[in-house]
Structure formats: C-alpha cells, structure tokens
Amino acid sequence: MKDKDYDQELLSAVFASAVDGIFITDAQGRYRKVNTAACSMFGYAEEELLSSDAKLLLFPEDAPFERVEKPDGGVFYPKHRMRRKDGSEVWVAMTVKDIQAGGEKLKLSIKRDITERVRAATELKASRDQLEEKVKRRTAELKSANRSLEIQILKRIKTEELLHTIVKATSSVAGEEFLRTLVRQLAVALGFKYALVAERVGTGRARILAIWAKGRFADNFEYDMQGTPCGEVVMGEVCSYPRSVQASFPGDEHLVHMKAESFVGIPLLDSGGKVMGHIAAIDDKPLSGEEEVKAMMRLFALRASLELERKRAEDIRKKSEANLQAIMDNSTAVIYMKDPEGRFILVNRWYEKQFRVERKEIVGRTDHDLFPKGIADSFRENDRKAIESNRPVEFEETAVGPDGRLHTYLSIKFPIPGAPGAICGISTDITERKRTEEALRRSEERLREAQAIAHMGSWDWDIAKNTLHWSDETYRIFGLAPQEFGATYDAFLACVHPGDREAVQLAVREAFNHRKQYEISHRVVRPDGTERIVNEKAEVTWGADGQPLRMAGTVQDVTEHKRLEAEILKAQKLDSIGVLAGGIAHDFNNLLLGILGNVSVAKNYVRPDDQVAAILDSIEKSAMKTKSLTKQLLTFSKGGEPVKEPASIEQIVRDSAELVLRGSNVVCDYSFPEGLCPVEADQGQLSQVVNNIILNAMHAMPDGGKIKIAAVNTEVDEFSALPLKPGRYIKTAFRDFGVGIPAKLLSKIFDPFFTTKKKASGLGLSVTYSIIKKHKGHIEVDSKVGEGTIFSLYLPASKAKSVDKDYGVVKGAGRVLVMDDEELIREVSAEMLKLLGYEAAFAGSGKEAIDLFTKAMNGGVPFDAVILDLTVPGGLGGKETIRKLKEIDPRVKAIVSSGYSKDPIMADYGKYGFSGVIAKPYRVSEFSKVIQEVITGKGG
C-alpha cells in the first residue's frame, strides 16, 4: 500500500506541475479533471471547467482542423484554434487518447500553447505575401515602364538605340555592378560628364553608391545635402536645372569642382513611396531636351529603386543572419542541433574551438564519430532523456576540452518543436566554476584548520528565529558535539559558567540597546566539568525597522593566554621584591664573609680536639645556613644571575632529595632514562629548587608516602603554549599524593611570602619560580584536592657533560692584589692569603688598585693575581678597573667577586676580561681553589 500511495502521490505531483494543459473528459464530453496549466491557459477557474463540457473552449464557426492518427490509437492535432474565457483565441498542439479509469471510458487531452508560434508564422507569411505582392506590383510597373519605353523607342529611333544599349548592359547584372553599369550608361546615353546614384543615410546626408565622372568610375563618398540640388530631390521632387546650377546653389563645393552648368535629379522611392535615395546627372554644358532627359531618367530611376530596395532587403537579411550567427559564434556556450538520428545539423564557432574540429567536419556526423565511446554514450543518453521529458533538461557532462584535459559542461537540452527526435543543446564550460567550488571547499577546510590552530571559532545567531550556527572549532572549544547542542541562545547560556551568565546577558543587552560591538571574556563549563576561558566578539545586523536581525562573531579559547598572563604577573611581583632583596643580600653577604672567612681561617690555627674548634664549627654551620637564606634573597635581585655550567639533573635531584628526606617517612621513586641530557644550570640554585619542591611534597604527606620523580628529554616548538623559546629541554616532574592545593590558591603559590603553613617564610616556591625563570626555564603546577600535586620543571638542555668539583684548601705562592671598599673584607682576605702562603696588597677603590698595579709593574714585581670587588659605591668598580688594568697589562689575571650585581658579569666573567669568579661569602677552601686555578692558568 505504501508503494501505491507513493505512486499516486507522484502522479498527482506530475499532473499538477506539468506545463502543458491536461484535460480528462467523460463520454459526454464533460470535463472530469484538469490541471493548473489548463486553467491558466484558458483563464478559467478549475470549478468553472469541471462544470462545463469541451464545447466551452471551441469556436462554433470553426471547421474541423487537421488531425494525424497515431500508431498507439491517439490523435494528434498539430494546430487547433480554441477560445479563452475572455473570448480571445489560443492556438494549441493537442494530443487526444482514449483511457480507462475505474472501468469508465475517458479521454485524455494534452494541449500545448503554440499561440506565439502560430502568430509568428502568420506574421511571417503575411510579410512574405506582402513582399511578393510588392515585387509583383513593381515588376508590373517595370513591365509597364518597359512598354512605355518601347513606345518611346518607336517614336524616337535615337532614343531607342540608346535605351537598347542601357537595357542590354544592365539586364544581366545586379547589386553594386548594376548600379555602376547604370550610371555609366546613363552618362553615355545623356552625353553628361557625371552620373550618380546615392542613398539616404540619416537626416540630410547621402552616400554615393556609384558615380561616373569624366569617363571613369570615381570613389564613393558621403556628403551633406543641405544647400545642394540633391537636397531638393530627396524631398520627393524631380529636380531639373538646365543651366546656371552653380548660381542657384553657390555653397555646393562639388558643383564648383565639377564646373557644373546643368543638373537633373530623380528621387528613388521604395514600395511604400518613401524616398530611399536619388539618381542624378550633371554636365558642364546647358541642358537641351529637358523633358526627354527626365523621361529617360524616370525609367532608370524605377529600375534603380527596385534594385536599391532589393539591396536594402538583402542587406537587412544578411545583417540579421550575420547578427544571429555572430550571437551564436560569439557566445561562450557551445550551441548545436542534432537530427533524430543524432547527426549534427548545426554547430557554432565555440563548438569548433572547444573540441578542436572544423564545422565542415562536424555536420552530418554523430557523437560516436567525434568522441570516445563512453562520453558519446553519455551524450546520447542525456539526449534521449531530454526528448522523452519533452522540456528543457539540465545535465552535467564531461568531455576533453581544448587544453586536452577533461572539462565539465552544464548542458541544457530540449526537443526542437516540429521535428520529433531532433534536439538542441547549449553547453557552458563550468570547469573553472567547479574548480572554484573545490577551491572554496578547500579554503573552508583551511579556515577550519586555522581556527583549530588559533583556538578560534565562529558563530552566527539568527535572533528572530533564535537559532545558532557554530563552526567545528566552536563546538570543540565548548566540548560539545552538534547533536548534543540545542543550537539556541538559551542552550548557549547553559554552557556559560553560572557566575558569568549575568555578565554575558548584560553584554548582549548593551549591544542591542546601544548599538555597539558585543565583546566579553567569560568562563564556560564543558560537559566533563572542565572550565575554559573564552573571549567573544560580535557585530549586530539591524533590520529596516530598527530591530536586531542577527549577531555574528568569533569565540576564542584564551585559557592558555590567561595562564600566560598570570605567569607574567607573577614575574612582575618577583621583580618588585627583587630590588629590595638584592640590596639586603649584598650587604649581608659582605658581613657573612667577615664571619665565615675568619672562622674558616681560625679553624686552621686550633687543634681539631680543642673546644674552640667545636665552637668554630658551630659558627661556620650557622653562617652556611645564613648563606643559604641570603642566596634565596639574592635570587630575587637582578644581580642574582645563575652561574651556569653543565650539570646532571639526576645527581642534583638525588643528592638534594636524600638530604631533605633523611629521617622522614617519605621515599622517592626515581625514573631517569639513559641518554638524559645534562642541564645548563647553577647547581647551587637548582639544589634550592629541588629542596623547596621536596619539602612542600613532604609537608603535603604528614603521614608519609611516596614522591614520584621522573625526567625526560623534550622538544619545544614555536606552536607550543609553553612560554619557552623553541629548543631541547629537560622536563622533570615531581608528583606527590598528598592533600593537594585548592584551585583558588593555585594562582598564588609562587607569590612572595604566600604560604599555607604556619611556620614557613613564604619564600620557598617564589624563590623556586625566580631561579627557574633566571635559568630561562619554566615551572608549572597541577593539583587536585585529595589526589596530590605535580610540579613540572622545564630547563634548557646542555650539549656538554656535567663536571663535578671537589673543593679543598690549596696553598700556593705569589703576589695578590685585593680591591674592596669594605675594610672587613680586606682584613679577612689578608688572613686567608697569609694562611695560603701568598703575599698580599690591598686597595679600597679601583683607582688605588690601578696605582698599586702600575707601581708594581714599573718596579719589576708585578702581581700574579688581582681580586676585584664588582661594586664600589662612588668609585671605580671591578668592571671599570679591569678595563684599565687590561690597558696596562693585557695579560693581567683578575678574579671578580661580589655579593650582588646588577650586571651579568658574575655569570659570564670571561666576556668582561676576568679569569675567575668567586661569590661572597666564601670559605678559605673555595677561595684557595679559585686563586690556584687563576694563577696556574686552569681557570676561565
């Protein structure tokens, strides 16, 4: 039943949409069913027709029309006159066939409106009849004129001879040759120097078609007839000036040039009596026998008129045909006609160009003669479909184009009326359009890819319909699939974080009320519970009534951007405290050097079992702890640049972790793969980082537990969201399984002095952050309450291998110059150098050091090493002093020393001319090692 219903529905649709009128009548001729086209064709409403019979549409006075019996039992009326409701006539081509439905005999009548075709044919026939009548009439007139001429010839023998010559000369020619013969014979017959025939071109102008001048043909030309005798002729009058014609038309330069004395002109009339042109004879002598000349010229004018009218009609026909051919040949569509057997009847120039074959090679041949079988079969199948549909049908067809590649054509094919089985086709090359469509598809794909890379999607809100269209990237940002989204404004609001919905709604209202751009950043909650931060921008389109129609814009996932902004803010906070910390660390380190240096020297003057030795050890340990604290403060300052060298991240992590966790109930699970690159780092500062992270993990697991530590080599490229330059890094992750950190506190844990522990300074993680930043690395944290925390470090990899340093007291000999503005430092340095076996000299400023160095050089007792304090308030510091010393002695060996510096000299001392570096505070063992390396040439 479903199939029958479908078939019935399909038949009804075809019946209703048919362009031909369809009528079904019963045995009594009453209309039982008509379609929309039938009603429209005759101007009746459907109910009017269904209440009438077939006689309603007939003219009672009409005789039976021509009919053709068809093999299938139907009858075809190729031309049948019928009556519309308003009484006007309509011509139809009609097919009538007996049918049965429900046991009832009915007649099916299909009528096609051919009124315009009949009218055109009627008008064409009338035009032809009229032209034939004119030709007959003019021919009759010519015959009459010839008879009159014969009479005149009989009367005048001389005239007869002349006319006989003219008739003989012009009877076998036509067109331009006829006109040239006419004017030559006319001039000879009349004995005139000049004879011409001209046609009117526009208002007041004439174009010479043929002119005989003094025994030869002259060039044709166009001229203005105003002020000439020809101007009177074209007014429809015979114009004759037997003498003094120049005097009558003094402005006619042509008459002057011809030295004209006499003039005779006759107008040339078309069959409607309208002046087409004129014929004229001009001579340089007075005219005799005026009436005879006029009579003779009238006869030639009649013949010339017929020829000129014929020429004009021929010109119009040729122009029309040329225009039609030009339209076809200049069309960028392929146009062709085929007979019922598929043979080409006509093709245009574009067909020749597209398929690289001449017209003469196409006409009379079929598609199978010109194209490969597959393409030809496709063409003929489409021809068949168009013929069967009996209406224009569009097809996409392919064929090899002029470039030898396969082209796509949009073909419109339709049956040729009056030629069953014949077809006409118009095919347009749409290859570029198809390529453009493909390019557009690829462009849209690239747009989707670009949106994915930029984390930016697009959206369009139809405000009136309350429907949303999202791009693929928008769905990805919101974590939704299209089938999961209601695609309405309310569905969008449901995705917005509850805390941001009111702000979003307010921004939308502001855009509507104040006609401004919609822009807002807000949070969205994905179906899995994760939050993202998005930035939205849009413009509103307004209707003519001032109401908002639609809002179209973009949405960008700025979560990572916001995270990077937070990182920058942290760095700025650290910079502000760094200025203060650096100053404190500098002064404190100088004081510490006085304590630590003196203690380390004093230990060399007491026995190990002496009670004083124990006290000195205690003081030294306290000083070293204080050094660690000042090192943390120094890290905040601009001068706390790491003194980097290749180092093993595994060794640093293991040593630091074991020291921190000794005696605790927390253990480490290490994962360090083979081939792990060394890092470029300050080992002391990096140990601080590990210490701080391990301490935090240990405090997060008061009942004990495990810390998983893993390191891997990793590459960072330019597309990474990490705030790092592209290159190779070592990623080290520290994972604990402790209490975790609340989300609201994660953004603060690297802030200076921020802590959640009662007895902590709040500097641990902020110091860690600062150290990693100064190493051109990155640190990030991820934590969930109740599950634990992961700290991830990214440090630049080094191509070199790390080198362990084993410090010990090394004695030596030589002369050492120490420059430091602090007297305490000079004193402790003196004690250390004395202990180590060196002869020392001291200066409180750079200028004093230069003087001492110069004096020693001049005295032949130069210094083996110079130790320069980097910063000297109000005087020459180490940087300026070494430059002066290098000018005195380029071979000078100098050590830079400082507790703080705003310049990166401590990290890259060799670049500034130093041979070694030592950071305050230091012990005598470290001091001795640096001096020994510099003097022996083993240092930097």
The pLDDT, as a whole number, for residue 520 is 93
For residue 454, is pLDDT > 60?
no
The answer to whether the CB of 206 falls within 8 A of the CB of 296 is no
Q: How confident is the model at residue 537 (pLDDT cuts 50, 70, 90)?
A: very high
Report percent pLDDT > 70 for the chain. 85
What's the rounded mean pLDDT across residues 571-576? Answer: 61
pLDDT in tens, 416-430: 888 888 999 998 888
Cα distances from 170 to residues 70, 180, 280, in angstroms, run 56, 9, 17
The pLDDT, as a whole number, for residue 334 is 87
- Taking the C-alpha atoms of residue 728 and residue 795, their distance in angstroms, rounded to an integer, is 9
428-432, 522-526, 809-813: which is most confident: 522-526
For residue 361, is pLDDT > 50?
yes
* SS3 (DSSP) at 446: helix
Residues whose CB is less than 8 angstroms from the CB of residue 149 and which lie 6 or more positions away in sequence, other chains included: 163, 167, 299
Q: How confident is the model at residue 101 (pLDDT cuts 50, 70, 90)?
A: confident
Lowest mean pLDDT among 372-381, 493-502, 610-619, 887-896: 610-619
What's the rounded mean pLDDT across residues 867-879? Answer: 88
- For the beta carbon of residue 889, count every other beta carbon within 10 angstroms: 15
For residue 44, is pLDDT > 90?
yes
- Which runs of consecutive H residues, i.e. helices, occur in 455-558? 472-478, 489-495, 501-513
* SS3 (DSSP) at 783: strand
The pLDDT, as a whole number, for residue 642 is 75
DSSP state of 920: S
The answer to whether the CB of 631 falls within 8 A of the CB of 922 is no
What's the rounded mean pLDDT across residues 738-767? Answer: 69
- Taking the C-alpha atoms of residue 816 and residue 918, their distance in angstroms, rounded to an integer, is 15
What are phi and psi for residue 708, nearest 5 degrees?
-95, 125
Can you list the domains of the chain with their CATH numbers? 13-113 (3.30.450.20), 132-319 (3.30.450.40), 331-429 (3.30.450.20), 450-557 (3.30.450.20), 641-804 (3.30.565.10), 815-936 (3.40.50.2300)
Kindly state the helix (H) or strand (E) to which residue 338 belongs, with its residue range. strand 333-338
pLDDT in tens, 766-789: 778 888 998 899 999 999 999 999
Cα distances from 195 to residues 215, 270, 331, 801, 858, in angstroms, run 10, 21, 45, 116, 129
Six-digit token string for 805: 């340093």
The answer to whether the CB of 423 falls within 8 A of the CB of 414 is yes
The pLDDT, as a whole number, for residue 715 is 92
pLDDT in tens, 900-922: 645 578 878 889 999 999 888 88
Six-digit token string for 854: 């110069």
What's the rounded mean pLDDT across residues 589-610? Answer: 70
The answer to whether the CB of 554 falls within 8 A of the CB of 474 is no
- Taking the C-alpha atoms of residue 458 and residue 469, their distance in angstroms, rounded to an integer, is 8
The pLDDT, as a whole number, for residue 160 is 58
Interstrand relation of 727-736 and 705-716 (parallel, antiparallel or unpaired): antiparallel
What are phi and psi for residue 425, nearest 5 degrees?
-135, 145
Q: How confident is the model at residue 758 (pLDDT cuts 50, 70, 90)?
A: very low
Q: How confident is the model at residue 165 (pLDDT cuts 50, 70, 90)?
A: low
Q: What is the mean pLDDT of the chain?
A: 84
The pLDDT, as a whole number, for residue 157 is 57
Six-digit token string for 413: 């094919």
What's the rounded mean pLDDT across residues 584-613? Answer: 69
pLDDT in tens, 721-739: 889 999 999 999 999 999 9
The answer to whether the CB of 727 falls within 8 A of the CB of 711 is no
For residue 930, is pLDDT > 60?
yes
Q: How confident is the model at residue 343 (pLDDT cuts 50, 70, 90)?
A: very high
Taking the alpha carbons of 345, 349, 353, 354 in that order, is the dihedral positive or negative? negative
- Taking the C-alpha atoms of residue 29 and residue 54, their distance in angstroms, rounded to an integer, is 6
pLDDT in tens, 289-340: 888 888 878 877 888 888 888 888 888 877 876 776 677 777 778 888 899 9
Q: How confident is the model at residue 638 (pLDDT cuts 50, 70, 90)?
A: very low
The pLDDT, as a whole number, for residue 128 is 87
- For the beta carbon of residue 568, count every other beta carbon within 10 angstroms: 10
